[in-house]
Structure 1
Amino acid sequence: MSEPAPTTPYRSSRYTGYTSYSYLEAGTDYETFELAPELDRVPGYDLGLDAEQEERTRRLIQDNIIISLHDHPQVFPNDMSQVREYIRTGREHTGYLGLSRSGMTAVFDNLMDGTACVTSKSGWKFDDIIYDIGMRLSDIANQDYVTIAHNLDDIRRAHEQDQLAIVLCLEAATPIENEVDRLDILYGIGVRQMGIAYSEANTLGSGLKEPGDGGLTVFGRRAVKRMNQLGIAIDVSHSGDRTCLDTFEVSENPVLITHAGARGVWPTPRMKPDEVLRACADGGGVLGLEAAPHTTLSEEHIEHSLESVMDHFTYCVDLMGIDHVAFGPDTLYGDHVTLHDVFATNLGVHQAHVGPEYPKMPYVAGLENPTECFHNIVGWLVKNGYSDEDIIKVTGGNVMRVLEQIWR
């Protein structure tokens, strides 16, 4: 694990060097911070591929639509003690450089809405979410590499034109409170995927850290119906088990688990039990494999790494079928471990990770940031003998297929 992460894009890119908010005067129009590097913040991950495997990996990424079902492609302060101050400015930076080297065609960008503390210490406020989305859209409008995806044609077009498509997402519907029409507002400004609850219960249902799970509420059922009508993809990654099962039952469209793993591999509330994973697949849904620090661990690979995550991958493929598994690495640019520490109360990190003891790692080796994830995921699949057909499915094809049924 000593070689540097790849810094040459696997597909040609239209990226020309734009950095966030550079249409303004730094230090005058907005407060500046020393940001984490987008490339080579940690040592690269050596998969030990031979030349033929390297070339096959390159070809698979170059030729196909590669989708992250869940990530946070923002750049955070190098000093994470400044993160709340940084967020309160309302100007989170997009990692354009890092994304241009990632090989991805599209990324489901989850906007850090649980930490959107522009006006509140607790996050999840509707006004803050609108502020966050509007500011990001303003920045994106000033460059021509990243584009916003509202439908599948936008993703296909991004692939054809050497761009990267961002799908705007919220990890929970908490900001809508008891106002179902807020779903229409969020859809109107571009949101195309939304979670039911994030760890804590809300007006829709229960989060996974609650001591009890009452399932999907009456209002939650209305919200699910509205999301179906609008064509918003529904996510239950952070919902309680009963709420997940209720959502599968109520939704007319397939439901996503955008970033989680298998409780059968690592027994914590953050992982999903076999019953939930099977029900997701039975309804036509897709699971994205999670890789945020100290989530998808395994007994065989207790130090969190690409290998730990792929233990969950092989288990879930056997359980759900290859057509229902994808990747939602849940990475960002900066020190993700310390971010979890800073926002432990907001995000319910400790309650979600209750289970076997594990060593705290400084980062997830091989899946530390959005730039390196799919180079290493595809390389691992190549090295371990998966067919081109199956690799194309789990790195984008399955997501595109399910969105055909969900998006209008």
Structure 2
Amino acid sequence: MSADIEDLIVVNALGGLDNPNAPASASASGALVQTSDQLTIDERTLADAHASGVTAINVTLGYTLGDFPPYQHTLDEIRTWDAIIAAHSRDLMRIDTAADIAEAKRLGKIGIIYGFQNAAAVEDRPERVAEFAGLGVRIIQLTYNQANQIGDGSMAPGNRGLTPLGRQVVEALNEHRVMVDLSHSGERTCLEAARASTQPISINHTGCRALVDLPRNKTDEELRLVASKGGFVGIYFMPFVNASGHATAADVVEHIAHAVNVCGEDHVGIGTDGTITAIDDLDGYRALLAEQVAQRQAAGASAAGERADTFPFVVDLRGVDQFRELARLLDERGYSSTRIEKILGLNFHNYAKAVWGS
């Protein structure tokens, strides 16, 4: 491609800012859940983020799973991230509007987008959406893999769809201009929420079920509906993009290509579901992986395709060069520089303008 990645807006629609090699990291410790106060945002983490060319990252905060009180834990997590950004104000800034993404690029900072991967903290009170929006939350994913009070996740056997309370929550998200994220949702929940929403919606990190038939991947019907509503689809760098679980960068490109064919080039981007700083000792990490997978399975939080013999990331598409490598592979596929720019971040930026305003 003709433009350097440093000249582009690059948005990771679901990612992490952490040094996974640090002892406190879930990747290093084998912990089931890593809370925001355990993140290691050190000199290497920040240097790697800058070197990668990323402009903004949707980071997961708040309750996702575990034995935490969802509402209070979520408030604690927001305060933790406020403190992280304040402590690293030369490097980080919170993203509240689409204009902030462009401003982060101009200032050479890493934009942090506050996002949930489970709306459990709303509980039975849709009015809490206003509170979370006021605290800077810009993305709320309706469910994780399990069912919650809003709808069924991708691994819930009932596939019951959006609940009446869930419809109220979607309405509140629209009212307060918070992105409705349908990643991890069951098929009926996804379709019904997409139809109920009056704002564009997103699936910030997923794969294509037409290529790999796993519940965490989305059907063409889901992808097409989200795009038809002006929404956004982010393809992840996860094992679910290959039926064997041993995913490669080439698999990620195939899923991006399929999504572009289904959704059009204006609605597809990336949501890696991983950190920028790579795990250094893959052999040592492999020894912890079985424990992590077993814990997730015991908690009912794992998805089909998670196995002890597969990494939860794409080995040849990680580290500080992951976005450059993806751009190179898309260029080799014959994609124009304009299309690559859209996939790397412009499409998410335009989606943000539609939902958050400029």
Instruction: Output the TM-score relative to the length of structure 1.
Output: 0.77
1:318 maps onto 2:261 in alignment: yes
The answer as to whether partners of 1:329 and 1:367 remain within 8 angstroms in 2 is no
Any stretches of 5+ residues in structure 2 without a counterpart?
280-284
1:264 is matched with which residue? 210
What residue in structure 1 maps to residue 296 of structure 2? 343
Q: Deviations over 1:90-132 (max 9, x none)?
A: 34223322211110111111237425xxxxx435722112212
Q: Matches of 1:245 and 1:208 in 2, distance apart? A: 12
Q: How many angstroms apart in 2 are the aligned matches of 1:75 and 1:128?
A: 22
Task: Name the CA distance, whole Å, in 1 between partners of 2:247 and 2:268.
Answer: 20
How far has the Cα of 1:364 moved from its partner? 1.6
> What are the within-5 Å matches in structure 2 for residues 5-404 of structure 1?
56=2, 59-76=3-20, 78=22, 80=27, 82-84=29-31, 87=34, 90-94=37-41, 95-111=45-61, 113-114=63-64, 121-123=66-68, 125-143=70-88, 144-292=90-238, 294-297=239-242, 303-332=246-275, 333=277, 334=279, 338=289, 339-346=292-299, 348-349=301-302, 351-353=303-305, 360-361=310-311, 363-369=313-319, 371-404=320-353
> Using the alignment, how far apart are the partners of 1:400 and 1:207 within structure 2?
27
Aligned mates of 1:141, 1:156 — CA distance in 2: 20
TM-score, normalised via structure 2 length:
0.87
| d(CA) in 1 for partners of 2:69, 2:296 | 13
Query: Residue 88 of structure 1: CA displacement?
Result: 6.5
Identity of aligned residues (%): 25
Taking the aligned partners of 1:78 and 1:282, their CA distance within structure 2 comes to 43
Distance 1:346 1:102, change over 3 A: farther
Gapped regions of structure 1 (runs ≥ 5) = 1-52, 116-120
CA 112–88 in structure 1, closer or farther in 2 if over 3 Å, else same: closer
Higher share in helix: 2
- Change in Cα spacing, 1:85 to 1:400, as seen in structure 2 (3 Å) is closer
**3-state SS of 1:166 partner:** strand
Structure 1 residue 361: deviation in Å? Answer: 4.4
Cα deviation, 1:238-293, whole Å, max 9, x if unaligned, reads 1110010111111001110000011110001111111111111111111100113x
- 2:63, 2:71 within 8 Å by CA — same for their partners in 1? no
Distance 1:231 1:362, change over 3 A: closer
Tell me, in whole angstroms, the C-alpha distance in 2 between the residues paired with 1:124 and 1:317. 40
User: Do the aligned partners of 2:122 and 2:128 also contact (CA within 8 Å) in 1?
Assistant: yes
How large is the RMSD of aligned CA atoms in angstroms? 2.6
Contact 1:92 1:136 in 2 (8 A): no
Contact 2:208 2:259 in 1 (8 A): yes
AA paired with 1:129?
Answer: T
- Change in 2 beyond 3 A, CA 1:328/1:123: farther
The verdict on how the C-alpha distance between 1:194 and 1:92 changes in structure 2, with shifts beyond 3 A counting, is same
Give the partner amino acid of 1:92.
L
Distance 2:269 2:136 in 1: 23
Structure 2 vs 1, CA of residues 169 and 361 (structure 1 numbering), >3 Å: closer, same or farther? closer
Superposed displacement of residue 340, structure 1: 4.7
After TM superposition, give the deviation of residue 83 of structure 1 in Å. Answer: 4.7
Q: Distance in 1 between matches of 2:75 and 2:334?
A: 45
Spell out, residue by residue over 1:132-166, the C-alpha distance to the aligned partner (whole angstroms, 9 max, x if none): 22112112102211110000111111111111111
Aligned residues: 340
Cα offsets for 1:176-227 (capped at 9, x unmatched)? 1112122122111111001011111111111110111221111111110111
SS at match of 2:251: helix
Q: Is the 8 A contact 2:36 2:81 kept in 1?
A: no
Q: SS in structure 2 opposite 1:194?
A: strand
